[in-house]
Amino acid sequence: MHEQKVQRTYNTEMYGALAIYALMLVASIKFGRGMDAGVLRTIVLSSPMIGFMLGVWAVARQFRRVDEFQRQIKLENLALAAAITAGASFTYGFLETAGYEKLSMFWVWMVMGGAWAVITFLRCRINFG
């Protein structure tokens, strides 16, 4: 029962953060791209980071709410995802020197989030380590 309540709280916080991120992203693209260069444009274009930081806050709160075993598993998943992301970005850095196209930094989070999701899924379904 406690675990379900903790998960519901996390889902509410995370989905709220994602909704704020999505709304601010759409607004920043609609209004920010047409603005003249300057501080205001920079603020508008980076405003979706408010939603992102709320997501970070939701994850940090979730780590504090779960028991020690769940915390250890979640931190291991995150550490593995970070290691995979570091290896992938480092490898691609070498490929860029070989003439591969430069990629946007947005890809780093895509790799990190994807690796974290796959690792979590595999550890839940296959129960390896």
48-57 confidence digits (pLDDT tens): 999 999 999 9
Write out the two tokens for 10: 């996390």
Residue where one domain finishes, among candidates 66, 84, 118 = 66
pLDDT at 129 over 60: no
Helices (H), the chain: 2-27, 39-46, 49-65, 68-97, 106-125
Span 19-36, average pLDDT: 95
Of the pLDDT bands very low, low, confident and very high (cuts 50, 70, 90), residue 76 is: very high
Tell me: do 53 and 71 sit in the same domain.
no
Regarding whether 106 and 73 lie in a shared domain, the answer is yes
**Judgement on whether residues 62 and 4 belong to the same structural domain of the protein:** yes
Domain final residue, candidates 43, 66, 89:
66
Q: Are 55 and 83 in a shared domain?
A: no
pLDDT reported for residue 127: 67
> Does one domain contain both 107 and 81?
yes
pTM over 0.85, yes/no? no
Concatenate the DSSP letters of all residues of 64-101 into one string.
Answer: HHS-HHHHHHHHHHHHHHHHHHHHHHHHHHHHHHTTPP
CA-based R_g, the chain, Å: 18
Q: How far apart are CA 57 and CA 61, in angstroms?
A: 6
Give residue 85's domain range.
Answer: 67-129
Count of structural domains, the chain: 2
Report how far apart, in Å, the C-alpha atoms of 85 and of each of 18, 44, 105 are: 22, 28, 12
